[in-house]
A and B are shown apart, each in its own frame.
Chain A
Amino acid sequence: MGEFRMPSLGADMAAGTLVAWRKQPGDVVHRGDIIAEVETDKGVIEVEVFDEGVVETLLVAVNAKVPVGTPLASIASAGSIAAVPSAPSPVQAPPPAAARVHATPLARTVAKALGVDVTKVHGTGDGGVIVRADVDRAAAEVTSTPRPDRMRQAIAAAMTRSKREIPHFYLAHTVDLGPALTWLSARNEARSVTDRVLPGALFVRAVARAARAVPELNAHWTGESAPPLPYVHVGVAVALRGGGLVAPAIHDTDTLDVDGVMRAMADLVDRARGLKLTATEMGEATITVTSLGDRGVEVNVPVIVPPQVAIVGFGKVVDRPWVVAGVVVPRPVVTISLAADHRVTDGHRAGRFLASVVAFLEDPEKP
């Protein structure tokens, strides 16, 4: 018997609201299956299950807000599937106010994104269920209702904690990106637009390789120490339209080639902006990359996302005079900034990390 619990989807998440069950008692689940949708300050997140077996009992009702770690469902192990009872789930009735709201998960997600209060939306679906079209219509009617800015509050809490608790130090390096961009252009020229790779994928790949080479920056602070983690999940900061940002993780980034990283980034950006990220992606980044080059920012000195211990910022690629073989020539350069936790590492090791990032960008073909 296993228990599926309210996951932690961020360092400052204390509780979450269960907005939908995607599995019901009697359903067979496999590791990685989406079992529920949970609403956090950063939106509605799909949550995976990590047990194999059969959903036995749903312990928490839809719309209930419960602390992180609360058992949400029990899952019978695969070996005891035959013994799973078919009795109805003893889920508690939702609170009266929530019971009056019947909306599809998609409608709730869209309502959240648009700042629409679903309790005030008239449902036109079967049995009066609120569907997406109802939310869209309600959003169009609202002219002056401010969007709840809970995400901003979540970011404020995480960044305040970071700056209060983490002794940041910063290193920067400006690198000639000419060879990397030439290599990338040659690859992209031979490809359809669908398969092209952006420089951002090179940046993420470079950081993943550096995290593997200097693992002490690929860690989570546990309160007293930060043992290096055995995997590299690079978080990618994604700005959301309408404000706010999330930094979901690309799993095992160091095992992907640049095409794999590009595909993963494109997928993450799409789902982040569609509020369709999974719990694992939201909570497991081991180091983060942020790029503000598209906004014209040349130097991006970022703030570490707890419990991580390092973050790497990339600025805009700009043409600058550069000395090559004793001659000043124009070269496309980018400034890379590393913020690291001085409780965990020091300038020497962090410098090695940054040098590893630079080495990859100077020779992206290196396996």
Chain B
Amino acid sequence: MKREDIEAVVIQKLAKAAPGTDPGSLDRDEAYRDALDLDSMDFLRFVDALHEALGVDVPEAHYPKILTIRACTAYLEAVLAKR
């Protein structure tokens, strides 16, 4: 899967977790939880949606690695590349 495709999934799932927002307009290095006002439940939904879409189950210990769109995309790309 190409990086831009993974990023598109990330943005799509963020938009679903935060209805009415435009994650695509965020700086890719911006902390999206604050920017989109995602609480713990929203974030869990987002991680769950990534799992559903890409089959990647991000462990809790790795949450700090996915807190920007760029970092999240890179993390998912690395995990998918190992398959």
Contact = CB atoms under 8 A, between A and B. Distances in A.
Interface of A: 185, 188-189, 192-194, 196, 198-200, 239, 241-242, 265-266, 269, 273, 293-294
Contacts of B59: 189
B48 interface: yes
Given A189-B59, A192-B51, A194-B48, A241 B40 contact: no
Interface in B44-66: 44, 47-48, 51, 57-61
Interface in B27-83: 37, 39-41, 44, 47-48, 51, 57-61
Contact of A241 (B19, B41, B44, B48): B19
A196 B60 CA distance: 9
Contacts of B61: 185, 189
A185 B61 CA distance: 9
Contacts of A196: 44, 60
A200 B41 CA distance: 9
A223 to B, nearest CB: 36
Contacts of A273: 19
B18 A193 contact: no
B41 A192 contact: no
A242 B51 contact: no
Contacts of A188: 60
B48 A198 contact: no
Contacts of B47: 193
Nearest to A198: B40
20 contacts: A185-B60, A185-B61, A188-B60, A189-B59, A189-B60, A193-B44, A193-B51, A193-B57, A194-B48, A194-B51, A196-B60, A198-B40, A200-B40, A200-B41, A241-B37, A266-B44, A269-B41, A293-B40, A294-B39, A294-B40
A265 B20 contact: no
List the 6 closest pairs (A to B, CB-CB), nearest first.
A294-B39, A193-B48, A269-B41, A198-B40, A193-B47, A193-B51
A241 B41 CA distance: 13
Question: What does DSSP make chain A's interface, helix, strand, loop or mixed?
Answer: helix
A150 B66 CA distance: 38
A38 to B, nearest CB: 24
Nearest to B48: A193
Nearest to B43: A294
Nearest to B36: A241
B58 A266 contact: no
B44 A198 contact: yes
B76 to A, nearest CB: 13
Contacts of B40: 198-200, 293-294
A75 B58 CA distance: 51
Contacts of B37: 241
B44 A265 contact: no
Given A294-B39, A294-B40, A192 B18 contact: no
A143 to B, nearest CB: 15
Nearest to B20: A241
A188 B37 CA distance: 24
Contacts of B57: 192-193
Nearest to A114: B20
Given A189-B60, A269-B41, A242 B20 contact: yes
Contacts of A265: 41
A243 to B, nearest CB: 11
Max chain A Cβ within 10 angstroms of own Cβ: one of B37, B39, B57: B39
Contacts of B20: 241-242
Question: Which interface residue of B37, B41, B59 has the most chain A CB atoms within 10 A?
Answer: B41
B13 to A, nearest CB: 12
A189 B20 CA distance: 32
A193 to B, nearest CB: 5
